[in-house]
Amino acid sequence: MKKLVFLTGAGMSAESGLSTFRDSDGLWEQHRVEDVATHEAWLNNRNLVNRFYNERRRQLISAKPNEGHWLVAQLEQHYDVTVITQNVDNLHEQAGSTNVIHLHGELMKACSSRDVDDTRYHVQFTPEHYEVKEDEKAGDGSYLRPYIVFFGEAVPNIGRAADVCTQADILVIIGTSLVVYPAAQLVYYTQKGIPIYLIDPKDEPLAHAPNLHHIRKGASEGMKELTLLFNEM
């Protein structure tokens, strides 16, 4: 089976009703990234940071995968698929994708602020219980924090994601502005000349690469077109 790798960003979930970050009316127009999504923000005002992610979680709970997510998952019938996502939602998993690497954490989890990777203190949220309360502590006595990679923190899954990209036969990029590193760099780990498909209504930094096929559509319509293209191959 060919190895098919998806690299997805906020545009993948836009049609599920979750805001992107940098489009007009995106999350970073409504909130200062420095206040809610950096390591310093966590140290200086953890309750504000927790409230921001509690709200993101509340929105996610009522969101459903869109057709794009379902079509990505269905390709597992014909390809060895890995989804590398910058998204912290779980809509790929809800649609049935079985091999998802989250680069920027997972919204439905909280963790110890002493050691984010110590799974003994991970909390898995549910639709009924999804908030970190004011000054709530993790099992190790440190403050409970969102299981999110804040700006200024290392991206623990980047090595695994880079290995997957190195082995890709086909890369599909959906709904990311490719401005946040190291995620944006992953494209350059693929073997020279493999086909790269980009699904995004807007032009991206990569749009003029020679082996790139740009489908200028949203995630659902774009995935329909890509599925047809793959069926014809």
Largest CA distance in the chain: 57
C-beta contacts of 26-34 below 8 A and 24+ residues apart: 33/151
- Residue 161 or 219 having the CB closest to ligand OAD: 219
Can residue 16 be called a binding residue for ligand OAD (CB under 6 A)?
no
Asked if 71 interacts with ligand OAD (CB under 6 A), we say no
Among 114, 120, 137, 202, binds ligand OAD (CB under 6 A): 202
Task: Please state the closest distance from residue 202 (CB atom) to ligand OAD, in A.
Answer: 4
Residues 166-195 close enough to bind ligand OAD by CB under 6 A:
174-177, 179-180
Which residue in the block uniquely carries the two structure tokens 């504000």?
48
Dihedral of CA 125/129/135/140: which sign? negative
Distance (Å, whole) CA 71 – CA 73: 5
User: CB 185 → ligand OAD: shortest distance, Å?
Assistant: 13
Could you say which of 4, 18, 37, 111 contacts ligand OAD (CB under 6 A)?
A: 37
Task: Tell which positions 89-128 bind ligand OAD, by CB under 6 A.
Answer: 104
The DSSP output letter for 38 is: B
- Is the Cβ–Cβ distance between 118 and 111 less than 8 Å? yes
Among residues 104, 122, 129, 214, the one annotated as catalytic is: 104
Q: Which residues are catalytic?
A: 104
